[in-house]
Amino acid sequence: MNYWLMKSEPDEVSIDDALAAPKKTVPWTGVRNYQARNFMRDQMRVGDGVLFYHSSCPEPGIAGIAKVASTPYPDPTQFDRKSKYYDAKATKEEPRWMLVDVQIVKKIPLVSLAQMRERPELEDMLVLKRGNRLSITPVEPRHWKAIEKLLSRSG
Protein backbone atom coordinates (compact mmCIF):
# COMPACT_ATOMS: atom_id res chain seq x y z
CA MET A 1 0.00 0.00 0.00
CA ASN A 2 1.20 3.45 -0.91
CA TYR A 3 0.57 6.86 0.52
CA TRP A 4 -0.13 10.15 -1.24
CA LEU A 5 -0.71 13.81 -0.59
CA MET A 6 -3.35 15.41 -2.80
CA LYS A 7 -3.91 19.15 -2.95
CA SER A 8 -7.35 20.63 -3.33
CA GLU A 9 -8.35 24.25 -3.28
CA PRO A 10 -11.11 24.49 -0.67
CA ASP A 11 -12.86 27.08 -2.84
CA GLU A 12 -13.36 24.24 -5.30
CA VAL A 13 -13.57 21.10 -3.17
CA SER A 14 -12.99 21.37 0.57
CA ILE A 15 -12.84 18.54 3.08
CA ASP A 16 -16.41 19.46 4.08
CA ASP A 17 -17.58 19.32 0.47
CA ALA A 18 -16.04 15.87 0.16
CA LEU A 19 -17.63 14.73 3.44
CA ALA A 20 -21.01 15.90 2.18
CA ALA A 21 -20.68 14.04 -1.11
CA PRO A 22 -22.37 10.66 -1.63
CA LYS A 23 -20.27 7.96 0.06
CA LYS A 24 -17.93 10.79 1.13
CA THR A 25 -16.32 10.25 -2.24
CA VAL A 26 -15.25 12.74 -4.90
CA PRO A 27 -13.70 12.27 -8.34
CA TRP A 28 -10.32 14.03 -8.39
CA THR A 29 -11.10 16.21 -11.38
CA GLY A 30 -9.03 18.98 -12.88
CA VAL A 31 -5.48 17.63 -12.68
CA ARG A 32 -3.72 18.95 -15.77
CA ASN A 33 -0.15 18.06 -15.00
CA TYR A 34 1.35 14.93 -16.48
CA GLN A 35 3.36 13.88 -13.47
CA ALA A 36 0.35 14.14 -11.19
CA ARG A 37 -1.81 12.35 -13.75
CA ASN A 38 0.71 9.55 -14.03
CA PHE A 39 0.60 8.97 -10.28
CA MET A 40 -3.16 8.48 -10.48
CA ARG A 41 -3.08 6.50 -13.70
CA ASP A 42 -0.10 4.25 -13.08
CA GLN A 43 0.67 4.00 -9.41
CA MET A 44 -2.41 4.44 -7.26
CA ARG A 45 -4.24 1.40 -5.98
CA VAL A 46 -7.63 1.17 -4.31
CA GLY A 47 -7.06 1.53 -0.58
CA ASP A 48 -3.93 3.67 -0.78
CA GLY A 49 -3.77 6.30 1.95
CA VAL A 50 -4.33 9.95 1.04
CA LEU A 51 -3.56 13.14 2.93
CA PHE A 52 -6.27 15.59 1.84
CA TYR A 53 -4.47 18.94 1.65
CA HIS A 54 -5.99 22.40 1.38
CA SER A 55 -3.95 24.73 -0.82
CA SER A 56 -4.23 28.31 -2.10
CA CYS A 57 -6.25 29.37 0.90
CA PRO A 58 -5.81 31.35 4.14
CA GLU A 59 -4.77 28.25 6.10
CA PRO A 60 -2.99 25.72 3.92
CA GLY A 61 -2.48 22.29 5.47
CA ILE A 62 -3.70 18.73 5.86
CA ALA A 63 -7.43 18.77 6.51
CA GLY A 64 -8.30 15.10 6.38
CA ILE A 65 -7.35 11.48 5.92
CA ALA A 66 -8.74 9.78 2.84
CA LYS A 67 -8.15 6.81 0.60
CA VAL A 68 -8.07 5.93 -3.05
CA ALA A 69 -11.51 4.57 -3.83
CA SER A 70 -11.43 3.60 -7.51
CA THR A 71 -9.23 2.43 -10.31
CA PRO A 72 -8.27 5.14 -12.81
CA TYR A 73 -10.78 6.37 -15.38
CA PRO A 74 -11.02 9.36 -17.73
CA ASP A 75 -11.62 12.77 -16.12
CA PRO A 76 -15.05 13.75 -17.49
CA THR A 77 -14.26 17.48 -17.30
CA GLN A 78 -11.80 17.17 -20.19
CA PHE A 79 -14.76 16.52 -22.54
CA ASP A 80 -16.97 19.28 -21.15
CA ARG A 81 -16.75 22.42 -23.28
CA LYS A 82 -18.19 24.48 -20.48
CA SER A 83 -15.64 23.34 -17.93
CA LYS A 84 -12.50 25.33 -17.28
CA TYR A 85 -10.75 21.98 -17.45
CA TYR A 86 -11.94 21.33 -20.99
CA ASP A 87 -9.18 19.99 -23.23
CA ALA A 88 -9.84 20.26 -26.96
CA LYS A 89 -7.14 17.71 -27.68
CA ALA A 90 -8.73 14.98 -25.61
CA THR A 91 -11.18 12.53 -27.14
CA LYS A 92 -13.27 9.76 -25.63
CA GLU A 93 -11.29 7.30 -27.69
CA GLU A 94 -8.02 8.79 -26.53
CA PRO A 95 -8.55 10.56 -23.24
CA ARG A 96 -5.60 12.56 -22.03
CA TRP A 97 -6.50 12.99 -18.35
CA MET A 98 -7.18 10.16 -15.94
CA LEU A 99 -8.32 10.39 -12.35
CA VAL A 100 -9.31 8.29 -9.36
CA ASP A 101 -12.08 8.67 -6.82
CA VAL A 102 -11.02 9.73 -3.33
CA GLN A 103 -13.05 8.78 -0.25
CA ILE A 104 -12.72 10.67 3.00
CA VAL A 105 -11.89 8.48 5.98
CA LYS A 106 -11.97 11.26 8.55
CA LYS A 107 -11.71 14.98 8.91
CA ILE A 108 -8.89 16.00 11.23
CA PRO A 109 -7.94 19.16 13.09
CA LEU A 110 -5.93 21.04 10.47
CA VAL A 111 -2.25 20.20 10.43
CA SER A 112 -1.13 23.52 9.04
CA LEU A 113 1.74 24.00 6.68
CA ALA A 114 3.44 26.04 9.39
CA GLN A 115 3.09 23.14 11.86
CA MET A 116 4.43 20.73 9.29
CA ARG A 117 7.48 22.90 8.75
CA GLU A 118 8.14 22.88 12.50
CA ARG A 119 8.47 19.09 12.60
CA PRO A 120 12.00 17.94 11.82
CA GLU A 121 10.69 14.45 10.96
CA LEU A 122 8.61 15.96 8.16
CA GLU A 123 11.39 18.17 6.85
CA ASP A 124 12.02 16.22 3.67
CA MET A 125 8.40 15.66 2.67
CA LEU A 126 8.13 16.45 -1.03
CA VAL A 127 5.30 18.88 -0.48
CA LEU A 128 7.52 20.98 1.78
CA LYS A 129 10.38 21.13 -0.69
CA ARG A 130 11.17 24.56 -1.98
CA GLY A 131 9.49 25.34 -5.25
CA ASN A 132 7.29 22.28 -5.19
CA ARG A 133 4.12 22.82 -7.17
CA LEU A 134 3.00 19.26 -7.84
CA SER A 135 -0.60 18.79 -6.78
CA ILE A 136 -0.09 15.09 -6.06
CA THR A 137 3.02 13.76 -4.34
CA PRO A 138 3.93 10.35 -2.96
CA VAL A 139 4.29 10.26 0.83
CA GLU A 140 6.87 8.06 2.49
CA PRO A 141 5.55 5.64 5.14
CA ARG A 142 7.69 7.29 7.81
CA HIS A 143 6.08 10.63 7.02
CA TRP A 144 2.62 9.11 7.11
CA LYS A 145 3.40 7.56 10.48
CA ALA A 146 4.80 10.82 11.80
CA ILE A 147 1.58 12.60 10.87
CA GLU A 148 -0.55 9.88 12.50
CA LYS A 149 1.56 10.32 15.60
CA LEU A 150 0.96 14.07 15.58
CA LEU A 151 -2.76 13.41 15.32
CA SER A 152 -2.87 10.92 18.18
CA ARG A 153 -0.96 13.38 20.33
CA SER A 154 -3.37 16.23 19.61
CA GLY A 155 -6.27 13.86 20.37
d(CA 118, CA 96): 39
* Residue 38 or 71 having the CB closest to DNA: 38
**Which position among 1, 11, 20, 34 is part of the footprint of DNA (CB under 7 A)?**
34
Q: Does 88 bind DNA (CB under 7 A)?
A: no
Rg of the chain, C-alpha, whole Å: 15
Q: Nearest Cα to 139, choosing from 76, 42, 53, 16?
A: 53
d(CA 89, CA 95): 9
Q: Does 107 bind DNA (CB under 7 A)?
A: no
**Which position among 11, 20, 33, 141 is part of the footprint of DNA (CB under 7 A)?**
33
Q: Does 23 bind DNA (CB under 7 A)?
A: no
**Which position among 14, 77, 78, 135 is part of the footprint of DNA (CB under 7 A)?**
135
Q: Does 38 bind DNA (CB under 7 A)?
A: no
Q: How far is CA 70 from CA 45, 46, 118, in A?
A: 8, 6, 34
Binding residues for DNA, rule: CB under 7 A, are 7, 9, 32-35, 55-57, 60, 113-114, 117, 130-135
